[in-house]
Amino acid sequence: MPYKRIAVYEDVAKLERRTSKMLQVSYIDELQDKYEAHFEFLKAHVVPQIQGTRSLIQILNTLKYSAYLDEDLVSLTVGAYKNNLSSPITDRVGLLGLSHVLSCVNHFGLKTVYDKMELTNDFEIGLSLHLNDIDKLSSHERIQIKGILLTYLRAQAMFTNLPYNNSPNQSDKSNELDLVKHLFSNTLKDSLTPSDYRQLYQYLLTVKANQGPEHFNEEPLLQQLRDIWFNLASPTEEYQISKLHQDVYSTLQRLPKSKLHLNHITPSVLEVDILLTKYKGTSLKSPIALEVNGVYHYPRNSEIPLGKDRIKQTILTSIDGI
């Protein structure tokens, strides 16, 4: 049965994701061909016929867990999901389902698919309604709303908070910023983790890049988030230098009259693997950042960086001047 097949592949991808993190050496990818055949089968025979949304979410989860990039399948599945919605988008169940969909789009940084979703207003209306009534929700429901909001803000950071370009049509972020401030209410603040604070902080940095420093009016909130995140989880605490990272650094040390920084912390508190600030005795006006990215920064079948690295690149370029 196609639906059982979808569930089995999702379980395989979950298991692979858990075990692959324990591997420290190169390995032969025995699953890629199987994933490719599975996803091609879904595009040709299954997705257009699916009734309901659960299996569609499982397909998107499998793509994300397996780190297999297939933009056509994502686009097809997202379209089928919208056509099969039974709950209003703005209620909690509708928002929760859409956040699963958006999570896959975020993971791969698929702006074209995001633009086709056209869900910004629905998310903002639904989240505003639930945040205004947050005290009436159970603790479990509050955690769900927090997760939905963070997923939505990640999409905004990735797809709409583009660097300021002196255009009079810069996007109005007031509604989004109001949603961020809701997270600091007494009801939700205690549920925020170090990872949540990092995500909120990076979101605000992309808003600053979008609006330009001279138009950005949330500097106190940005600094508050920066201090909280930095104190809760310094970015260097869990960082391990790979052999490849060390080898690249050692090779670059041979550059003439140059100055390198290993695991450099930028003013925006992002970590750069290697920063080159001087070359042949000349200090660089714009330092050069070198990121030594392993396989987990890319889809298994593509050399296009995952979404998380695109957010970092925007911040490093627009805020840190690197």
User: What pLDDT digit, counting tens, does each position of 195-253 carry?
Assistant: 899 999 999 999 988 888 888 889 999 999 988 887 876 544 455 678 888 999 999 99
Please identify every stretch of the chain with a pLDDT value under 70, giving residue numbers as ranges.
1-2, 20-28, 87, 163-172, 233-240
Return the pLDDT at 314: 87
Contacts of 153-157 spanning 24+ positions with Cβ under 8 A: 153/179, 153/180, 153/199, 153/200, 153/203, 154/106, 154/199, 154/203, 154/307, 154/311, 155/102, 155/105, 155/106, 155/114, 156/203, 156/206, 157/202, 157/203, 157/206, 157/207, 157/311, 157/314
Return the pLDDT at 120: 79
Return the pLDDT at 167: 45
Sign, Cα dihedral of 202, 204, 205, 206: positive
* pLDDT tens column, 164-190: 554 444 556 778 888 888 887 777 888
10 Å CB burial of residue 94 (0-12, 13-18, 19+) is: middle
Average pLDDT taken over every residue of the chain: 86
Return the pLDDT at 233: 61
Return the pLDDT at 111: 93
10 Å CB burial of residue 172 (0-12, 13-18, 19+) is: exposed
Question: Which of 143, 147, 227, 233 has its CA nearest to residue 188?
Answer: 143
Return the pLDDT at 23: 54
